[in-house]
Structure 1
Amino acid sequence: MPMHPRESDPAVPDPADPAPEGAVSPPREDLPPSGGPAGTGPDTDAEPGPDAAGGPAPAEDEYTAELKELEDRWRRALADLDNLRKRHVKELERERLTERSRTAAAFLPVLDNLELALSHAGSDPGAIVEGVQAVRDQAVNVLELLGYPRHAETGVAFDPARHEVVGVAHDPDAAPGTVVEVLRPGYGDGERQLRPAAVTVAKRE
């Protein structure tokens, strides 16, 4: 029988042959996806490592600097407070010494007059009495100048803030509750009182 020639099968391209011009080459399975080695592609969700930013976060640096500044200011404030306390103690002691010296100096004339009265004790006894009274008045005046006036009034109403009752007496001429006798004068008023006056008060009927 005559043999009819068979239509030839389409030629199977050889992978080694170059692809014709304009043809699209199929993807090769032995090549990894673009952007990295096989099995690793670009991961946009991955966060950068600690070294990616080049060091600690700016917020942490700012916090540390502010903390150091506050600590320095706190230490300086403590040092200033300690210096102020020491200076206050020195000034207070200096004021005490100054006031003590001023008070003592105010009584020097009183001592001078007492010595002068004693030096004339043998000449005239009457002059001694007058001299002692003058010295007493001078001492009372010094205390008043220092802020401690003398209180030795009689006939005034009893005041517990200025008087200390040491006895009662029946005096028909005095109103009940009034001072009839001062046994020991008082000096000063209110918070600046050295001592109250010791008095005898008229008895109430």
Structure 2
Amino acid sequence: MSGQEDTESQTADDGTDDGAAEAASQIAELDDAWRRTAAELDNLRKRFSKDVASARRQERASVASRWLPVLDNLERALEHATSHPEQVVDGLRAVHEQALTVLAGLGYPRREDEIGEAFDPARHEAVSTLVDEELAPGTVAHVLRAGYGQDSEILRPASVVVATRSE
């Protein structure tokens, strides 16, 4: 080999080595960046998980605190049950109204006056039928258990008796 060929061979080898070293360096940088991103994502997931758990605890505490006055009034009614039995019924009616107000404030108002309305499986749960010549077939004849919530978000459907015609 001549001296010129040795120099060209060395340059080619050096270029290849530089390219391989540069590629290895880039791979190491990308691997490091990927690991850091994966760690950040895992930390973010853990933080969001803690935030969701905290928000749930806060919401449960908020809902429970809205029910405390209802519980307080029920306890007062029980205290007066023996000494003033005639006032207990009035007190229970007031506590019932207070409970309905709490539910409505949470977005689940009591559904009223459903008798005569068309049966809707999204809002009603049919538990029985009743032959009724005055009401149209397929309408609510009697509400056994009230439903709560708005059309867009039902907490509990009303349990109803549905009118039918005699055969």
Shorter-chain TM-score above 0.5: yes
Q: CA offsets per residue over residues 47-74 of structure 1, 9 Å max, x none? A: 8445885575332222122111111110
1:194 aligned counterpart, secondary structure: strand
Residue 159 of structure 1: how far off its partner (Å): 0.8
Cα RMSD for the two superposed structures: 2.5
For residues 83 and 6 of structure 2, the distance between their equivalents in structure 1, rounded to whole angstroms, comes to 119
Residue 99 of structure 1: how far off its partner (Å): 0.6
Q: Which has the higher helix share?
A: 2
Aligned-residue sequence identity (percent) comes to 48
Structure 1 equivalent of residue 157 of structure 2 = 196
Residue 180, structure 1, aligned to residue 128, structure 2:
no
CA contact (8 A) 1:177 1:203 kept: yes
Residue 94 of structure 1: how far off its partner (Å): 0.4
Residue 178 of structure 1: how far off its partner (Å): 1.2
Residue 187 of structure 1: how far off its partner (Å): 1.6
CA contact (8 A) 1:152 1:184 kept: no
Q: Which moved more, 1:63-72 or 1:186-195?
A: 186-195
For residues 144 and 5 of structure 2, the distance between their equivalents in structure 1, rounded to whole angstroms, comes to 102
User: Structure 1 length as normaliser, TM-score?
Assistant: 0.71
Residue 188 of structure 1: how far off its partner (Å): 2.1
User: Structure 2 length as normaliser, TM-score?
Assistant: 0.86
Q: Which moved more, 1:49-58 or 1:90-99?
A: 49-58
For residues 52 and 170 of structure 1, the distance between their equivalents in structure 2, rounded to whole angstroms, comes to 99
CA contact (8 A) 1:151 1:187 kept: yes
Tell me how many residue pairs correspond in the alignment: 165
Q: Which has the higher strand share?
A: 2
Flag the structure with more relative contact order, 1 or 2, with Cα contacts below 8 A and sequence separation at least 6. Answer: 2
Q: CA offsets per residue over residues 65-96 of structure 1, 9 Å max, x none? A: 21111111101111101100110111011011
Higher alpha-carbon Rg? 1
Is there any run of 5+ residues in structure 2 with no aligned partner, and where? none
